[in-house]
């Protein structure tokens, strides 16, 4: 199945240094093995000259491809051009590697050949067999990296889904926090205060918003309404009890936190998940 990659940006899996090493390790080696085993396009006749054997010549061509690939991939990586190109331009860069390799291979073949061919004729032939042979490892590597990019995107998406993104009354993103780190949220007129844990310490963040604005995202992430002015994270509830005024409150598992009032309206729903 063909994996579709967004055209606007190159997935980060293509940008890693190890990815570049993978390219200039696999592609020249694939050429050597394929040319040695199958001798495609009558290459054995063309490259078996009085000056060198076929095996020696394909090994030399492999070295040419390797040098071009190393130079190209290191240039692409260390110039950071790879951070700014789309997948389309990345494919064009790959095609450029084949073209550049063809120029040097044609030069080598012209020097060792015993036949009377113009350099342009040798170049066309060199590009033909390089393009057809190297197409396979290029497509394989792109497909492999594309699958990995899809997996990483799914993992990132799952990671993002576990976080709450809080927007203020003007729909501007103000605060992002992992759902499991939220202790409770309290509303006070036109403001809400998010009480949460970070690096083992209790912290709070105040922003202009309302309980209605945050209700949907809280419920979707397991943060439950327990009072007209409170949301609470059931994960952090240690016990439910009645206070001196016979009001049901929740004690949280974090020291020095005040008890959270529980309305009768929300009590049954809260008890079901504790």
pLDDT tens column, 197-249: 998 889 999 999 999 999 999 998 999 999 999 999 999 999 899 888 888 99
Is 153 in the same domain as 174? no
CA distances from 272 to 137, 234, 237, 266, 267 (A): 56, 10, 13, 10, 9
Q: What is the pLDDT of residue 7?
A: 45
Residues 119 and 94 in one domain: yes
**∠ CA(218), CA(221), CA(225), 5° rounding?**
40
Q: Are residues 106 and 187 in the same domain?
A: no
- Calculate helix-pair angle for 87-112, 119-161, nearest 10 degrees: 150
pLDDT at 2: 38
Same domain, 145 and 204: no
Summarize the confidence of residues 175-184 as an average pLDDT.
92
User: Domain count of the chain?
Assistant: 2
Question: For the domain that residue 235 is a member of, what is the CATH number?
Answer: 2.40.50.1020
Checking if the pLDDT of 161 tops 60, the result is: no
For residue 196, what are its two tokens?
């949460």
Cβ neighbours of residue 153 closer than 8 Å, sequence gap 6 or more: 11
Whether residue 115 is found in the same domain as residue 235 = no
Summarize pLDDT for 39-80 with one digit per residue, the tens: 998 888 888 877 789 999 999 999 999 999 999 999 999 987
Q: Given a cut of 80, is residue 121 above it in pLDDT?
A: yes
Q: Identify whether residues 27 and 131 lie together within a single domain.
A: yes
pLDDT at 84: 80
92 inside domain: yes
Q: Which of 207, 197, 218 has its CA nearest to residue 173? A: 207
Instruction: For residues 120 and 43, give the distance between their C-alpha atoms in angstroms, rounded to a whole number.
Output: 18
State the pLDDT at residue 3: 39
Tokens 């000056």 map to which residue?
51
Q: Are 204 and 195 in contact (CB under 8 A)?
A: yes
């Amino acid at each position: 199945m063909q994996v579709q990659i967004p055209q606007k940006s190159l997935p980060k899996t293509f940008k890693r240094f190890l990815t570049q090493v993978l390219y200039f390790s696999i592609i020249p080696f694939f050429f050597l093995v394929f040319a040695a085993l199958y001798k495609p396009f009558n290459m054995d006749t063309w490259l078996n000259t009085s000056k060198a054997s076929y095996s020696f010549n394909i090994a030399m061509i492999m070295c040419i491809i390797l040098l071009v690939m190393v130079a190209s991939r290191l240039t692409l990586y260390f110039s950071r051009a790879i951070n700014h190109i789309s997948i389309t331009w990345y494919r064009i860069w790959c095609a450029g590697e084949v073209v550049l390799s063809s120029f040097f291979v044609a030069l080598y073949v012209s020097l060792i050949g015993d036949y009377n061919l113009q350099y342009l004729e040798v170049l066309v032939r060199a590009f033909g067999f390089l393009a057809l042979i190297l197409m396979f490892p290029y497509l394989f590597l792109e497909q492999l990296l594309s699958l990995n990019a899809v997996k990483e995107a799914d993992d990132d998406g799952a990671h993002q889904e576990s976080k709450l993104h809080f927007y203020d009354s003007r729909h501007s993103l103000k605060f992002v926090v992992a759902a499991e780190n939220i202790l409770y949220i309290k509303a006070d007129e036109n403001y809400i205060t998010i009480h949460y844990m970070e690096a083992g310490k209790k912290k709070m963040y105040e922003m202009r918003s309302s309980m209605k604005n945050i209700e949907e995202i809280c419920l979707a992430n397991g943060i439950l309404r327990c009072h007209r002015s409170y949301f609470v994270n059931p994960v952090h509830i240690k016990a439910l009890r009645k206070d001196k005024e016979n009001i049901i409150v929740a004690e949280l598992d974090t020291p020095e936190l005040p008890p959270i009032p529980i309305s009768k309206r929300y009590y049954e729903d809260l008890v079901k998940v504790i």
